[in-house]
Structure 1
């Protein structure tokens, strides 16, 4: 194979039900529709006309009763709108991250947290909660420890023995185990009456602490990390070939993996710092997107972002409406993700690409 035209995805593998131009456009726009619906759903009802009136500064819809307006504004602007935007940003980031990781490892069972960024960021935030509670320094510390862990992983993976993908994977497993032990230590020394319940609940994942800072951080990380991965989409296609073939096409596999790991680390650490540990999204969503649009990464990555955003929005709505007390997101994503992954396995027979 000589020349960049050597890698092509056959037309019949371009996509499934959303493979057409209009279907693909609808898929990409679906998170905005789900986000709009999520504003009206919750334990406190908000009617369409009241919400539209509040969102458009009084130009559309019917105004709420004067006695209800302050409460509706609080529900809409301090709860549902920030949570919905944060779910959009984090879900899109986790979808792109998962699809990119499955590409660089050529393994459909790989998720973005496999290289240790999740437990490292969890250790940082848990330590911050221990000293400062839920505050900006806690989130910043989680973000920093998550990035430091990926620097350690990339440093350890420079050992030039065996398959570089396997070395990178083992480096991530070692790093993740180390930081998981540190998380356990933080929980062990935490005050069982105050700090320990807060750390434990946060580790299960929630968007309840959505704030202007977390929204800005999630938006910037999605713009930077997601933008880098989207720009590398064609090169990720080449990684489906062997490393020797990729080199012959002008793609350096190890350098590309390092850039992808750095971009994914930015997305994962932001997600953990902003919302705790939310599993299964980065593993399940890329498979759903792949079934809809096929394996070509220039179509797959935007589709994974769209499916991830819609998925997390729906899960967050369920988390805050199913019971009187909010259900942690990590519980719901596992309850949906595990059987969902089994259904995908049965439907595809293990043929993911």
Structure 2
């Protein structure tokens, strides 16, 4: 745990020096010292680049990675399946449709974020309602997964429809770029504060539920034997994880694989106990996202969308782990 904290701080420091404007470590130290002592000036170019542009982006990237990894770990424990990702219940596709509609109508960025968040959260609430209505007396988890698949397919079709009718010279490029996932336009102080507050609420709820998630991972009957209210615990876990995922998607677009591979790797290292797995996943997700964002900013002359890079890294890595047979679970 301490090693990950040190790694996170080191990666954040390195990330401050990465970009088209070269900033040396001594110059970065000077800017940070001036900021801490209150003697920094807004007219200094290095100060503007580091504190106004890069620092909010770095903080947002770390928060996004932590939120996605935590929600993925929570879903994997609740569904008792290490192959589950945070968007299994349709939150990503729902949020994507909301954002695409707002971009199609030319609405302000605040409305784009808001409608995306509402649609993502609404998709999961609808899945939960269907599971509760259909799954009475049966396997609610199975019904929930099936409802999530149906909901994801429905929103995917709606997204295709929106892209089809969008203006190819105006709205369509904006929708396509947003779907790739990026921090280029979302790294500002307001988004950092919003996501930090959501992470405190959603992540804090999951951390408080760690022992209950441990109990659920053994099965519903075993959890009830241990005194866990299965229905309430499942609802809280789903809502908290969905809150985190929907917030990241609405602010930064679709960034896949983080919530799948990071908890999976962490489980191989620390084991399936959520007392350690969840906080380590938080830190591991933050470190991974900072590293990916650094690579995205230097791998091409412009900037590669982060969502594209996570898919390019995540898919082969996950296939490798499957081929090697290292699927250690309970």
Same fold (TM over 0.5): yes
For 1:199-250, what per-residue CA distance to the aligned partner results, in whole angstroms no more than 9, with x for missing partners? 1011000001122222122111111110000100011110122211211111
For 1:76-120, what per-residue CA distance to the aligned partner results, in whole angstroms no more than 9, with x for missing partners? 123211110001111001111011100011111100001001111
Alpha carbons of structure 1 residues 349 and 59: separation in structure 2 relative to 1, 3 Å: closer
Deviation of 1:197 (Å): 0.4
- What is the 5 A alignment of 1:41-52? 41-52=18-29
Q: Which structure 1 residue ranges, 5 or more long, are not aligned? A: 1-23
Alpha carbons of structure 1 residues 78 and 186: separation in structure 2 relative to 1, 3 Å: farther
In 2, the alpha carbon distance for the partners of 1:161 and 1:183 equals 34
Alpha carbons of structure 1 residues 58 and 307: separation in structure 2 relative to 1, 3 Å: closer
Alpha carbons of structure 1 residues 233 and 29: separation in structure 2 relative to 1, 3 Å: farther
SS in 2 for 1:132: coil
SS in 2 for 1:38: helix
Who is 1:9 aligned against? none
Who is 1:174 aligned against? 150
In 2, the alpha carbon distance for the partners of 1:325 and 1:38 equals 16
In 2, the alpha carbon distance for the partners of 1:132 and 1:261 equals 32
The 8 Å contact of residues 92 and 308 in structure 1, kept in 2 or not, is answered as yes
Alpha carbons of structure 1 residues 168 and 29: separation in structure 2 relative to 1, 3 Å: farther
In 2, the alpha carbon distance for the partners of 1:301 and 1:336 equals 22
1:264 maps onto 2:253 in alignment: no
In 2, the alpha carbon distance for the partners of 1:161 and 1:167 equals 11
Deviation of 1:344 (Å): 2.2
Identify which range, 47-56 or 163-172, moves more after superposition: 47-56
1:86 pairs with one of 60, 64, 71: 60
1:130 maps onto 2:107 in alignment: no
Deviation of 1:133 (Å): 5.0
Deviation of 1:351 (Å): 2.6
1:150 pairs with one of 105, 124, 135: 124
2:76 pairs with one of 79, 102, 110: 102
1:235 maps onto 2:235 in alignment: no
The 8 Å contact of residues 203 and 276 in structure 1, kept in 2 or not, is answered as yes
The normalised TM-score by structure 1 is 0.87
Q: Which structure 2 residue ranges, 5 or more long, are not aligned? A: none
The normalised TM-score by structure 2 is 0.93
Deviation of 1:145 (Å): 1.1
The 8 Å contact of residues 53 and 59 in structure 1, kept in 2 or not, is answered as no
Identify which range, 247-256 or 278-287, moves more after superposition: 247-256
The 8 Å contact of residues 229 and 263 in structure 1, kept in 2 or not, is answered as yes
For 1:133-152, what per-residue CA distance to the aligned partner results, in whole angstroms no more than 9, with x for missing partners? 56111101111111111211
SS in 1 for 2:218: coil
In 2, the alpha carbon distance for the partners of 1:286 and 1:143 equals 24
Who is 1:313 aligned against? 290
The 8 Å contact of residues 106 and 171 in structure 2, kept in 1 or not, is answered as no
Off by >4 Å, runs of 4+ in structure 1: none
Who is 2:254 aligned against? 277
In 2, the alpha carbon distance for the partners of 1:152 and 1:137 equals 22
1:183 maps onto 2:159 in alignment: yes
The 8 Å contact of residues 115 and 169 in structure 1, kept in 2 or not, is answered as yes
The root-mean-square deviation of aligned C-alpha atoms, in Å, is 1.9
For 1:277-318, what per-residue CA distance to the aligned partner results, in whole angstroms no more than 9, with x for missing partners? 001000000011112211110100010011100101111111
Deviation of 1:255 (Å): 2.3
Alpha carbons of structure 1 residues 172 and 217: separation in structure 2 relative to 1, 3 Å: same
- What is the 5 A alignment of 1:71-82? 71-82=45-56
The 8 Å contact of residues 268 and 328 in structure 2, kept in 1 or not, is answered as no
Alpha carbons of structure 1 residues 109 and 59: separation in structure 2 relative to 1, 3 Å: closer
Aligned residues: 325
Deviation of 1:260 (Å): 0.8
In 2, the alpha carbon distance for the partners of 1:195 and 1:77 equals 32
Who is 1:121 aligned against? 95
